[in-house]
Chain A
Amino acid sequence: MRTDICVRGLGGRVWRHRRRETKRSERSWGPSGPAGFGLCYNHPRVRDPRLDRLGELIAGYSLDLQPGEVVRIEGGDVAEPLLYALYRAALRRGANPYLQVGVDRLSELKVAEGSDEQIAYVSQLERDELDQLDAVATIWAERNTRSFTNADSERYGRYLSARRELSKRGWERIAAGDLRWCGTLQPVEAYAQDAEMSIEEYEEFVYSACHVTGDDDPVEHWRGVSEELRHHSERLAQVRELRVVGPDTDLTVGVAGRKWHTADGRSNMPDGEVFTSPIETETRGEIRFGFPGVFEGREVADVRLRFEGGRVIGSEASRGADFLRSLLEMDDGAAVLGELAFGLNYEIDRFTRNILFDEKIGGTIHVALGSSFSELGGLNDSKLHWDLICDLRAEGEVYADGELIWKQGRFLDG
């Protein structure tokens, strides 16, 4: 008789989101990952203790998994090592984990060859599944960060918006406190290449940023970070106006009455920033960004912006100026700041073209053009959310209502 399919198990599919253009609570979750072609998997013969610690940190601290909770662990196929580590850690906490593995090549096929209907399709199956989850861990891992560079932008846009539509339900459940989420990253060659490092250097960089390389307890470390960041958030919440002064930079931003969020390793790992959404009409002055602005895989170098009455009134770039202008003109909210943040992870000390790390570089501030966080009081609405990072480590000062609070990349009160 026929061999029965139920004899064999079955695996999962990913819900990864493409993280380039958006951040945290904005990000869309979508399917993923270039195809694994056969023979070249990254299977360490000896388990990397840093990976095991990272898995335990996310299961225990970030997601705080409890016995019986349902957690989906999703990632591209090259995320295999961390998928295993996290899966094991979740099982050990008594949770009910399952894996969803994405292959970017399949999404590329859909965007390249699917009909409009197929590209926009989201199955009921995927929607229903969402409602049954207590937690989701997303592990970013790609074989090629530029695989969509030449995709038809209309088709790709249609695909992204379908995935965002799906993830919206997830964000609603997160906002309601019914679902916990953490995004993290598997060090892979493609990311190392973007960061201009070898894979081993990059692994060390990633695991250091997550604080899982040493002998000390990563959970204790992140609890300490949480306390320290909370202290900054509380103080910043009292401030009406911030003035950032640095090389070619003198920018004043109104933040009165806005809330500050403490990003302490729960929803991202690594983490380490405090951020708010500024008053939409008060930003004025100029700012020059020391690091390239990266949006959907495209770079704009040496961006300078001039603001008045909350809006960008002048922009310059040494490379990609046209692209910069097109982003600013995307919609009405695109020329207004949706975010202002302090990067406070001092184990992240360099630019890697990956916003998960770059926005947290200790000693930087970043702003985002476009959509703001309504939970922090932000009112700006846009399809854009583009983080631009300003390095204040060498010289730079921040004044809060006229008082110096930050110098050379550090808050003065620690």
Chain B
Amino acid sequence: MADSSVERLASVLVGYSANVQPGELVTIEGPLVATPLIAEVYREVLRAGGHPLPKLKLPRELEIFYAEASDAQLDWVDPSFLAINEVADVRIIIDAETNTKSLSNVEPARQARRSRAREVSRNRYLERAARGELKWVLTAYPTEAGAQDAEMSLAEYEQFVYGAGRLFEPDPVASWQGFAKHAFAAKAFLEGVRELRIVAEGTDLTLSVDGRTWEPSVGKENFPDGEVFTAPIETKVDGTIRFTYPAVFQGREVNDVELRFADGEVVDSSASHGLEFLREMIAMDDGARRLGEFAFGLNDGIDRFTRNILFDEKIGGTVHLALGTSYPETGGLNRSGLHWDIICDLRTGSEVYADGELVYRNGSFLAGVL
């Protein structure tokens, strides 16, 4: 079972998500523990006529780097990373951890310094992706460490991961194409809406989305996928929201987060655990107090919290907000060093109103809305 799921995942990633064409240079990036998937993706890229270029990562590499590197070494970026973002036609990136907390004790300033050094190259990749010169897809390969964070056995977690990717469907690609219709319908509807109001226990939040673009995520750049997102109007968010899941950022958790907004800004915050960290993050810069994203999670195959944002932000029947920077393609203007997704479960006792009209209840859009 597991093996054929890996084969199906590889086939969907290469054929549907990345849509690899003959002659394309395709990097396959992932840690050693993901070798079974890397090998299948490699085979599929060959079958598609592409040129696979594997880039494997060892589990202790970064840990050693942070333990030893001087500032000058933190500022250096290896030429193969730079070259990928300049030259590759497709990047297939596989997220798989052997220990999700291996960098928990690294000084955040050192991590930030390394990421700053890589920002130029990162921007090159974003530019090329925006121009359609570089396709990319991020996926996850189930490991014990991922299962542990999700509080499951590996066998259960594998079922969860592959189920979320619709890989047990007779024709996964057709299934994703069907989902895409649904997500585009949500986009069409939401782009006609000026104001959304979310009502649930402890939550009554109003946000303006007037004139903003909604982006449907349908399995192309993330896999699994399933959400539709936008950036709210920066000055028009009011009310209170209580987040049902822990807010996880850089390996740290904040529990029972409540935020109160006025004119788009967070004016009050509380949490049962990690409040200091939350407030530190919100104070990071001017943009960190405002929302950069609002989204509906639409993947019903993802039915629980796993501490992996690739899955969590897509849980069917949830919404999520991100504090901080917004995505330009949505029309958002907020800029910040922060982008922190926090998820709110709406599957029970909740309603969403669009310009005053009830359109969504207990985790689903009402019949006839989309």
Known: A2-B221, A41-B32. A123 touches B25 (CB 8 A): yes
Chain A contacts with B in 57-110, Cβ cutoff 8 A:
67-68, 70, 77, 80, 83-84, 87-88, 91-92, 94, 96, 98-103, 105-106, 109-110
B174 at the interface (CB under 8 A from A): no
Chain A contacts with B in 1-53, Cβ cutoff 8 A:
1-6, 8-13, 31, 35-38, 41
Determine chain A's interface SS by DSSP, over half rule. mixed
Asked if residues B293 and A8 are in contact (CB atoms below 8 Å), the reply is no
| Distance of A126 Cα from B79 Cα, bound (Å) | 10
Using Cβ atoms and an 8 Å threshold, which residues of chain A touch B68?
88, 91-92
Known: A98-B78, A109-B43. A37 touches B35 (CB 8 A): yes
- What is the CB-to-nearest-CB distance from B256 to chain A, in angstroms, rounded to a whole number? 24
| Distance of A94 Cα from B25 Cα, bound (Å) | 33
Chain A contacts with B in 396-414, Cβ cutoff 8 A:
none
Known: A12-B56, A109-B42, A124-B87. A99 touches B81 (CB 8 A): no
Known: A3-B138, A3-B310, A91-B68. A106 touches B52 (CB 8 A): yes
| Distance of A54 Cα from B113 Cα, bound (Å) | 31
- What is the CB-to-nearest-CB distance from B322 to chain A, in angstroms, rounded to a whole number? 7
Using Cβ atoms and an 8 Å threshold, which residues of chain B touch A118?
46, 49, 51
Chain B contacts with A in 46-83, Cβ cutoff 8 A:
46-47, 49, 51-58, 60-62, 64-65, 68-70, 72-73, 76, 78-81, 83
Known: A1-B293, A3-B309, A94-B72. A129 touches B31 (CB 8 A): no
A115 at the interface (CB under 8 A from B): yes
Instruction: Pick the contact of A91: B73, B222, B225 (CB < 8 A).
Output: B73
- What is the CB-to-nearest-CB distance from A69 to chain B, in angstroms, rounded to a whole number? 11
A125 at the interface (CB under 8 A from B): yes
Interface string of B25-45 (1 = CB under 8 A from A): 100011111011011001100
In the complex formed, the residue of B with least CB distance to A110 is: B46
- What is the CB-to-nearest-CB distance from B294 to chain A, in angstroms, rounded to a whole number? 10
| Distance of A354 Cα from B56 Cα, bound (Å) | 26
Asked if residues B88 and A125 are in contact (CB atoms below 8 Å), the reply is yes
| Distance of A9 Cα from B55 Cα, bound (Å) | 11
Asked if residues B83 and A129 are in contact (CB atoms below 8 Å), the reply is yes
Asked if residues B56 and A88 are in contact (CB atoms below 8 Å), the reply is no
- What is the CB-to-nearest-CB distance from B16 to chain A, in angstroms, rounded to a whole number? 16
B353 at the interface (CB under 8 A from A): no
Using Cβ atoms and an 8 Å threshold, which residues of chain A touch B49?
115, 118
B215 at the interface (CB under 8 A from A): yes
| Distance of A5 Cα from B222 Cα, bound (Å) | 9
| Distance of A400 Cα from B186 Cα, bound (Å) | 89
Given A2-B138, A103-B35, A133-B79, 9 extra CB contacts under 8 A: A1-B293, A2-B221, A11-B57, A13-B56, A38-B36, A88-B64, A94-B70, A96-B73, A98-B78
Interface residues of B (CB under 8 A from A): 25, 29-33, 35-36, 38-39, 42-43, 46-47, 49, 51-58, 60-62, 64-65, 68-70, 72-73, 76, 78-81, 83-84, 87-88, 91, 93, 95, 118, 122, 125, 136, 138, 215, 217, 221-222, 225, 227, 229, 293, 295, 309-310, 313, 322, 327, 341
* 5 closest cross-chain pairs (CB), A and B: A11-B57, A98-B78, A91-B68, A101-B56, A132-B79
Interface residues of A (CB under 8 A from B): 1-6, 8-13, 31, 35-38, 41, 67-68, 70, 77, 80, 83-84, 87-88, 91-92, 94, 96, 98-103, 105-106, 109-110, 113-115, 118, 121, 123-126, 128-129, 132-133
